[in-house]
Structure 1
Amino acid sequence: MSLEQVQVVVIGAGISGLQAARLLRSKYSVKILEARDRVGGRLQNHRFANGDTVDIGGQWVGPGQHRMYRLIEELGATTWPLYDSGDNLLYLNGRGRRYRGTIPKINPLALADLGIAMARFEAMARSLDPAAPWTHTKAEHWDSVTLDSWLQKNCRTRLARELFAVGIGAVFAAEPAELSLLHALFYARSGDSLETLLSVTGGAQQDRVHGGTAGLCERMAQQLGERVQLNAPVEKIEQLPDGRLRLWHGAGSLVCERMIVALPPNQALRIRFEPELPSWRDQLLQRMPAGACIKCVARYEKPFWRDAQLSGQVASPTGPVRVTFDNSEAGKSSGLLMGFLEGDTARNLSAVSADERRERVLECFAQFFGQQARRPLEYVDKDWSSEAWTRGCYAALMAPGTWTGYGARLREPNGPIHWAGTEFAVEWFGYMEGALESAERAVAEVEAALQREEHLCEVVPV
C-alpha cells in the first residue's frame, strides 16, 4: 500500500484547524487529523431531551470579532443577543442585591476602591502592544509578579479584591495567583479591555449562535469532506532527510511538506517529535497550562427569573458558582440557567461525584433565584479539565516569566512546523476570534514557505 502524501497536514479539528484547512484547500492538498470522534475541539453542543441545543463549550461572540461574524455569515448561521434585560444580582452575605451594569452596588468605600483599581488596570493594559507585550518598558516588572500580588497592593478593601477576583475567574477560569500580571494586562488589551471582556451588551458576551458554535465547526467539516480524519490522534512526527514530515497517528501514517499544529499547548506536549523540538519550544509549552472550568446548564420549563425582572446574571464571591447567565435560546420556550465553576473551585469539584456536583450547583441556583431553581427538568455539566484531548479551559495561562522569557518566539515556526490556535493569537487571545486570527497567520506562513520551495525547485533551462 502506498503511503498517503499531502502538502499540508493540520493537527486538530477545532475552529482554528478547520479554518486553516478551509483557507488552504483551494491551492494545496490538505489533511486534518483529529484525535476525537467529533470536530470542534473546545466547542461542543449538548442536545436536551426536548431537542433544544446548548453550547457546553465556548459560545459567545461580540463587537470587534469581525472574523467570527464573517464566518457565521459565510456558513449560513445566525446570531441572537444574550438576554440582558432586568436586574443583575450580587450575592453577598447570604442575600442578593440588585444592580445594573458591569460593577455591582456595594458600600461606597469598596466601590471607590474597585473603581480605582479597575481604572488603573485598564490604563496599564492600554499602554501595551498586544503583538509584543514583552517590549513594554515595565514588562519585566509586570511579568515578575502575579495578578494577586498586584491586587493586594492596589485594592485596599477585601470586598474589592474579591469582586475583582470574580471577574478574573470569569475571564481566565483561574485564580489571580496563577497569572502573571503582564499576561492579565495583555489578555485584556488583546480583547480591547477588561470591561469589554466582562460585559454582555457591547461586550464579549453579547451574542450567541443559533445551532451552537460547534455547529459552525460541523458545517466547516462538511465543506472539507474526506480531508477531515477523526479518531486519529497524532503520536509521532519525524522529519525526514529531505525536509518533509512523516506523521504516525491512530489510523496509520502519512507524509507532508508542511504542518500546522492547531492544538492547546498542553496537548502538543503529548506528541513525540524526532528530532525533538528545540528546548525553548518544549519549555514554553510546559509553561502554558490550561485554566480549570466546569460549565453547568440547567433547563427549566421557562425562564421564570424574568418574571421577577431579573437578567439571570449573578456575581457571587462565595460560590461555588460565582457567575451565572440566562442562556435561554431566542425563539425557544425553555429557560436555561448557566453557571461556571472555575479555578480552584473547578479543581475541587472535579474530584466529587457527578450527583454531588449537581447538588452543589443547584443549591447555588436556588440561593440566587429561589427554590424553583432547585428542580430543573434536565441538567448537564462539562468538566473540561477531565476532557481527554483538552484537559482544561478556557485557554492556556501564562505564569510569571513566560512572556518575557519566551513571548518573542511564541508564534515562530519550528522548521516546517507552524503553530495555530487561540493561544497563538495577537487579537482576542483565548477566544474563537483569536483562533481564526492565528489560523490566518499560520496559513500565510505555510503559503509563503511552499511558494519559496516551488520557486527553488523550478528547472531553469540552460
Structure 2
Amino acid sequence: MNAPTNVDVVIVGAGFAGLSAAHDLVEKGYSVRVLEGRDRVGGRVFTGEVAGVKVDFGGTWVAKQHTAIRELADRVGCTPVPQFTEGRCVLWLAGKRSTFNGTIPKLSPVALVNMARIQLALDKLAKTIDVDAPWDSPRAAELDAISLEEWLDRKRARWTTRAMMTIVSKVEWGCQTSDVSLLHVLRTIRAFGGFDFMMDAEGGMQESRYSETTQEIAIRYAALLGDRVHISAPVRRITQDADGVVAHTDSDQIAAKYAIVTTATEHRGGIDFEPALSELAQGLVKSWTLGALSKAFVAYDKPFWRAEGLSGQSLIDTGSTFGTFDVSPSPDGPGVLMAFCDPRVFDSHAPDVRKAQIVKQIIDIFGPQAAQPIDYIDQCWNTDSFAPGAPNPAVAAYASTLYGSVLAEPHGRVHWAGTETAGEWTGSMNGAVLSGQRAAADVAQLLLAPASYDRKKARS
C-alpha cells in the first residue's frame, strides 16, 4: 500500500457530477483527487460504435433548458445536433401497427380522452411537489403510499392508457408501473417541467444530442483536470474522524478534509463507511435501487424509413424493445436506429439472439427493408460492474417519505452528489452537473470556515 496522498477534497466517481465538482473546486484554488472505479470516465454516459458511427450507450439527450450541461459541452467544443423528428411516428399496440404525428399516438376518441385526462391529472399533482424535498410536499405520505399502477386503477385508466404509461415507466425509471411510487413519478414530472416536456423530442427533453457523443464531453472535461483523475481506482472504504477523511482503494489511500461521493444511491452500499451510515441512510441505499434499461443499435445503408415519411421514432407495447429513435448521422447514411430494450426479456440471451429479437421487431415497425442490417451492437447495462441498472432509481412506495430526507444529507465529512440528489432536472445529465456544483459549493464553504463543521457536529 502506498503512502497516503493528501488533498483538500477526494471525489468518488468521474461522471458529470464528480467532474463538475472537481472543476469548481480547482477553480476555487483547492486540491482534489477524483477516483473512478471503471477504466474510463463518464459514468452512465458511454460511447459505442456501429457501422463506423459513434453512438450513446447511456445518457443521450439534452433540452434547450439544460444550460449547465450545454455550457460544459460548449467549453470543450462538443456540438449539439437536433434529434431527427420529421415525419410520422409508429405505434405498435396489441399487435396492430399505426402511425401518428406529435407526442400522442393516434387512438380512438375515447382512448384519447382517457389518456388526456390521466396526463392532466399527473401534471396537476406534479405542480404540488417540492422537487428538492418531495417527501415534504402536501399529501406526500398519501402519494408515496401507492404505486403508479395503483393510482391508474383508481383513475380508471383504460388499457391503452396503461400501455402507454408502461412504456413511459420503462424509459424513465426502468421498471413496471407497479414498481415505482406515485410520489417519485410526480417528482420526475415536476423536475422535467411537465409530462409533455418529459416525453417530447422537438422542444422537449429529447431535443438534441451530441455528434461526438456525451461521453466525449466527459472525456474532454476530465482531460482538463489532468492527473487529478484516476481511473481503475474503485473506492472500497471511506474512514473519517474530526480532522478529515481517508478514501481507500486497492492500492492507495487518499487523505482529504472532505469527500464527495457521486455514485448512484444504491451503489453507496458498495463502499464500507467508518463510522457506518445511519439507519436511515442504509434504508435509502436498500430502497432507492436503480431500475433496468438496455439499448440496442441497428444500422442500415441509409435511413430508409425517412423516404417513407417516418421519423424513426416508435412506441411498442410488447417484445424486447419498447421504443426506437433515429440517430443517423446524415440522410445519406448509414441509417441508425436506437432501440430501448427491456432487460427482463433481453439481457440474458446470447448476442445473436438479442439481435434477432430486435431486428424482427424493427421489421414489424418499419417494413421488410429492415431485414438487411449492415451492423448491430447493444449495451446491457445490468452487466455493468459499477452501476448496473437504468439511469434513474425505481423508487417504490413508501421509500421517498421514509428515507428521502437523507438523500443529500452529509454523512459527517462525506457529501453526496449525483443526478438522483438534484432537485430540478433530477435524473438528467443536467441534474448531474448541477448536483456536482452544489456539493462543491457546500464543501468549499466548509473549507473556508472549518469551525462551522465542528459546531454542527457538536449540535448533533
Q: TM-score, normalised by structure 2?
A: 0.95
Question: Matches of residues 95-110 of structure 1 in structure 2 within 5 Å?
Answer: 95-110=96-111
Q: 1:57 to 1:456 in 2, by over 3 A?
A: closer
Whole-Å separation in 2 of the counterparts to 1:361 and 1:391 = 22
**Matched letter for residue 264 of structure 2:** P
Distance in 1 of aligned mates of 2:248 and 2:373:
46
**Contact 1:171 / 1:197 at 8 angstroms: preserved in 2?**
no
CA–CA distance in structure 2, aligned partners of residues 10 and 445 of structure 1 = 14
| 1:445 corresponds to 2:442 | yes
The answer on whether the counterparts of 1:292 and 1:393 sit within 8 Å (CA) in structure 2 is yes
Cα distance in structure 2, aligned partners of 1:117 and 1:209: 33
Which residue identity lines up with residue 415 of structure 2 in the other structure?
A: H
Distance 1:248 1:438 in 2: 24
- By how many angstroms is 1:2 displaced? 4.1
Partner of 1:384: 381
The 3 A distance-change label for structure 1 pair 455 and 125 is: closer
Aligned in 2, Cα 1:253/1:28: closer, same or farther, shift over 3 Å?
Answer: same
Is 1:405 aligned with 2:406? no
Amino acid of the structure 1 residue aligned with 2:339: G
Letter in 2 for 1:30: V
- The CA deviation string for residues 355-403 of structure 1, in whole angstroms up to 9 with x for no partner, is 1111111111111011221321111111111111111011112111122
- Give the secondary-structure state (helix, strand or coil) at the position aligned to 1:8: strand
CA distance in 2, matches of 1:427, 1:456: 27
Aligned length: 452
Change beyond 3 A, Cα 1:160–1:2: closer
Say yes or no: does 1:269 pair with 2:278: no
Residue 329 of structure 1 aligns with which residue?
A: 329
Counterpart Cα distance in 1 of 2:93 and 2:157:
19
Q: 1:2 to 1:233 in 2, by over 3 A?
A: closer
C-alpha change, 1:138 and 1:437, in structure 2 (3 Å) is same
Counterpart-to-counterpart distance in 1, 2:310 and 2:91: 12
Whether contact under 8 Å (1:89, 1:315) holds in the other structure is yes
Alpha-carbon distance between aligned partners in 2 of 1:23 and 1:374, rounded to the nearest angstrom: 49
1:237 partnered with 2:238: yes
* Greater Cα shift, 244-253 or 301-310: 244-253
Tell me the equivalent position of 1:252. Answer: 252
Change (3 A) 1:296 1:455: closer
Q: Secondary structure at the match of 1:351?
A: coil
Aligned equivalent of 2:458: none
> What root-mean-square deviation, in Å, do the aligned CA atoms of Structure 1 and Structure 2 show?
1.7
Question: Counterparts of 1:330 and 1:7 in 2: how far apart (Å)?
Answer: 47
Which amino acid in 1 is paired with 2:162? R
Matches within 5 A, 1:142-161: 142-161=143-162
CA distance in 2, matches of 1:332, 1:239: 57
1:460 corresponds to which residue?
none
TM-score (norm 1): 0.95
State whether structure 2 residue 26 is matched by structure 1 residue 29: no
CA distance in 1 between counterparts of 2:338 and 2:447 reads 46
CA deviation profile, 1:55-83 (whole Å, cap 9, x unmatched)? 11111001321111111211111111010
- Work out the CA distance in 2 between the residues paired with 1:93 and 1:270: 42
Distance 1:300 1:364 in 2: 15
Aligned to 1:357: 354
Using the alignment, how far apart are the partners of 1:93 and 1:248 within structure 2? 53
Whole-angstrom CA distance in 2 between matches of 1:97 and 1:251: 57
Whether the 8 Å CA contact 1:114–1:164 is kept in 2: the answer is no
SS of 1:439's equivalent in the other structure is: helix
Give the partner amino acid of 1:307. A
Question: Counterpart of 1:322 in 2: which secondary structure?
Answer: strand
Q: Secondary structure at the match of 2:449?
A: helix
CA contact (8 A) 1:114 1:155 kept: no
Q: Is the 8 A contact 1:43 1:213 kept in 2?
A: yes
2:197 maps to 196
Residue aligned with 1:237, SS: strand
Q: Distance in 1 between matches of 2:138 and 2:453?
A: 42
Contact 1:117 1:155 in 2 (8 A): no
- 1:42-100: CA deviation from partner (whole Å, max 9, x where unpaired): 000012353x2111111100132111111121111111101000001111243321111
2:237/2:271 contact within 8 Å kept: yes
Contact kept? 1:231, 1:250, Cα under 8 Å: no
Identical positions, percent = 33
8 Å CA contact 2:61, 2:209 repeated in 1: yes
Aligned to 2:418: 421
Q: Distance in 2 between matches of 1:206 and 1:447?
A: 34
Q: Give the conservation status (yes or no) of the 8 Å contact 1:61–1:208.
A: yes
Aligned equivalents of 2:183 and 2:263: distance in 1? 24
Q: C-alpha deviations, 1:322-343, integer Å up to 9, x for none?
A: 111111124772111011113x
Residue pair 1:32, 1:229 contacting (<8 A) in 2 also: yes
AA in 1 matched with 2:318: T
Identify which range, 18-27 or 155-164, moves more after superposition.
Answer: 155-164
Partner of 1:293: 293
Q: Which amino acid aligns with 1:116?
A: R
Question: CA 1:427 to 1:455, structure 2 compared with 1: closer, same or farther past 3 Å?
Answer: closer
Q: CA deviation at 1:138?
A: 1.2
Alpha carbons 1:129, 1:136 under 8 Å: kept: yes
Q: Deviations over 1:425-459 (max 9, x none)?
A: 001111001101111110111011111127999xx
**Higher mean C-alpha deviation, range 125-134 or range 289-298:** 125-134
Output the CA distance in 1 between the equivalents of 2:319 and 2:113: 24
Rounded to whole Å, the distance in 2 between the matches of 1:173 and 1:304 is 30
Task: Specify the code of the residue in structure 2 equivalent to 1:255.
Answer: A
| Partner SS for 2:37 | coil
Partner amino acid for 2:429?
A: M
